[in-house]
Structure formats: structure tokens, C-alpha cells
Amino acid sequence: MASESEGRGGTLKSLAHDLGNLAYRLTFLSANLQTQIPDPAQRDEAVALLRDTDAKLRRTIETLRRMENDG
């Protein structure tokens, strides 16, 4: 039983780490999008990255919610 909770704790810690990385990406891109990317095509690429990051963040959050509900 202890190893199961330790495994779950490791998973939650990993998910929290992933959330932190994804949040950093969003913050960084948002802050620099207009000033650092004057080219419209490059800005579009950055927006696509933001959307992808947002989708991954939401999936990770859902995983955490499911884990918490199961626990």
C-alpha cells in the first residue's frame, strides 16, 4: 500500500512539474508575442504553440482532477 501511494505521489509531482513548465511557456510567449515577433507568419506560429500548450495544460489538469476524485 505504501508503494502505491508513493507512486501516486511521484505521478502528482511529475504532473505538477509539467504544469509549471507549461505555465512558463504561456507566460513567456504571451509577454513577448507582440514585441519580439513582428512577422505575421512567425506570430501565427507562436499563437499555434500557445494553443497547443493550453490544450496540454488542460489535459494535465483533467488528469489531476481524475486522480484526486479517484483517491
What are the tens digits of pLDDT across the range 30-50?
777 877 888 989 888 888 888
pLDDT of residue 6: 59
Q: Examine the pLDDT at 3 and tell me if it is beyond 80.
A: no
More confident residue, 4 or 46: 46
More confident residue, 3 or 58: 58
Domain extents for the chain? 12-70
Q: What is the pTM of this model?
A: 0.64
* Radius of gyration in angstroms for the set of CA atoms belonging to the chain, rounded to a whole number: 16
Q: Examine the pLDDT at 2 and tell me if it is beyond 60.
A: no
